[in-house]
Structure 1
């Protein structure tokens, strides 16, 4: 529900932070992630016009500035991970695209070798530290293991990856002193861009999820708000208390959050999708609700994928 006071206050703060963005590459990157995290946390209070203006126009302007600076001066990124560090041979993914009711092509590739990835540098924001994972292919990507409390995560330019953002499980040693306590890290919001043939598994979050440029993916997540732009041929198993929003999308299939994962107490509106591109009467042709048979098939796939790599711990 839109709040005029909150919307006006956020608009003033957003514009002030945008004008204050310094020209340094590192500072622009940090401020840009902070702006996006702030926008994600305030989506529920903003009118549709302000949401689209901030996200699709003004943040794009800052991203363009960042891209121009990177093309002139390409230092070692504080946030990006290099796929070249992995010693594992690349895993070939099958190129067959799934239908909206099927998630078979994403997990059908040979089981990828788990990647032990360093956590990127933090950007201090009101939503917690920001972690960025980018430019990886055929990897099993885990949630950061050396983080405490809430954090925001950004995923960009990933292909044929399984991304499991559930907190790392408690491990036991030969004695109680060697046991690893359960992690307190928890993703609070997520922004994903340019994912191809990926499986994304996210526990229920307290914040929002923004997706852009997804193709042939299986997305399993719970969030307070969910928006997806410029995406196609993707199955989404979702638990969300507010209306999911899609824009410039096609062949999306929505189903309920899998029962084998922890269920929130609130009622989900995953089946009540709003398409910003569809202003006519009747249902949009750009999305569909999974029928019971395809819903069961997708949940079986999700449960099988969730068990990958649970046996012997991290790869060295």
Structure 2
């Protein structure tokens, strides 16, 4: 029998509500949390798992960063303590003790052994810095390198004091030296020491007097082994010059030079390049610092990491110059020929470690110079 239309509508509505209630579960009737459908039940745990995995990854990343920071601080602290301890020991070996001036002649026989010990410790100190530079701040590296330069200058000065015989040998050869023509007719720097109480400028040693060239243009300038041996060399205000330094300087400073080619034998300690442009430099040293320099190629052997600051267009390649007697110059310089960090450069103006600095680059192998004569 057919029911009235109103009953059928009411019955249809009730059936739909019952079906919706059955799907929603007890929550629809106040009986608690409704169970999720099969698809929703699969999506929610997966989303929670992803969120938990991301949380764990972030926590692990922060833990590793914190651990790395702690290790770096610990390493930096260990380096500072070890460096300070060794520096004090070297200074004690080099510096005059109480009453030494009055007993200088009596103690002179024992001083060479102390200087050799100081030289060995200084070499170890340089190695400590080279091995630690990867976790040190730039200012820590700079301070340590400047301390090493001062110590090396003091060591060289002490060695000069203990070799009075060289003065007589020089005097005996004076006539021969005066008869020989000078390598360059102009721009040679006189051998002068810094005034008393005045500290040497950055990159200059504190021991032997300066030698070198300044204010010259379009000249070929040369110095030989006897003139360079453990001397501090300054090249300043040169333009379009070719400079040949065959020998073993103590330090080298190249300042405000333009369009110059400088070929230098092994330098015992540091080389400072400052304010140069469009130059070609061939250098071997323990430390290389480059400031305010533009569009310059540097062929280098350096036993520590090179540093650049306020530079652009600086390009590096390994040292390839050779000349008769260079083996002896390497031996007197103390440089390790088997160690060359020519392509490890720290840019003080570029702190991003995951991106290369735009201020320096490597010279492609096919573009490198191999013949210098």
TM-score by length of structure 2 reads 0.46
| 1:148 to 1:227, Cα distance in 2 relative to 1, 3 A | closer
- Aligned match of 2:185 in 101, 116, 131? 116
- Aligned match of 2:208 in 128, 134, 142? 128
Contact 2:306 2:345 in 1 (8 A): yes
SS in 2 for 1:202: strand
Structure 1 position 213 matched with structure 2 position 281: no
Question: Higher strand share goes to which structure?
Answer: 1
| 1:255 to 1:146, Cα distance in 2 relative to 1, 3 A | closer
Unaligned runs of 5+ in 2: 1-78, 92-121, 147-182, 195-204, 328-335
Write the distance in 2 (CA, Å) between the matches of 1:245 and 1:275.
6
**Deviating 4+ runs (over 3 angstroms):** 5-11, 41-48, 50-56, 116-119, 124-127, 144-149, 259-264
Structure 1 position 49 matched with structure 2 position 139: yes
| 1:141 to 1:52, Cα distance in 2 relative to 1, 3 A | same
Contact 1:239 1:256 in 2 (8 A): yes
Shift in Å at residue 136 of structure 1? 0.9
User: Partner of 1:269 in structure 2?
Assistant: 341
Write the distance in 2 (CA, Å) between the matches of 1:277 and 1:9.
34
Shift in Å at residue 7 of structure 1? 6.3
- Aligned match of 1:156 in 228, 231, 236? 236
- Aligned match of 2:370 in 296, 299, 311? 299
Shift in Å at residue 143 of structure 1? 1.1
Contact 2:250 2:267 in 1 (8 A): yes
Write the distance in 1 (CA, Å) between the matches of 2:296 and 2:228.
32
Write the distance in 1 (CA, Å) between the matches of 2:145 and 2:305.
18
Shift in Å at residue 134 of structure 1? 1.2
Superposition CA RMSD, Å: 3.4
Write the distance in 2 (CA, Å) between the matches of 1:273 and 1:145.
30
Larger Rg: 2
TM-score by length of structure 1 reads 0.54
Question: Deviation per CA, 1:120-149, whole angstroms, max 9, x where unpaired?
Answer: 123287542321421111111111676374
Contact 2:228 2:249 in 1 (8 A): no
Write the distance in 1 (CA, Å) between the matches of 2:211 and 2:302.
23
Contact 2:231 2:249 in 1 (8 A): yes
SS in 2 for 1:209: strand
* Aligned ranges 1:190-269 → 2 under 5 Å: 190-258=252-320, 260=322, 262=326, 265-269=337-341
Write the distance in 1 (CA, Å) between the matches of 2:349 and 2:362.
18
Write the distance in 1 (CA, Å) between the matches of 2:226 and 2:212.
15
How many pairs does the alignment contain? 196
Shift in Å at residue 116 of structure 1? 3.4
User: Partner of 1:175 in structure 2?
Assistant: none
Unaligned runs of 5+ in 1: 12-40, 57-113, 168-185, 308-316
Write the distance in 1 (CA, Å) between the matches of 2:214 and 2:322.
29
Contact 2:308 2:346 in 1 (8 A): yes
Contact 1:241 1:268 in 2 (8 A): yes
Write the distance in 2 (CA, Å) between the matches of 1:288 and 1:198.
20
Shift in Å at residue 54 of structure 1? 11
Write the distance in 2 (CA, Å) between the matches of 1:148 and 1:260.
16
Shift in Å at residue 199 of structure 1? 0.3
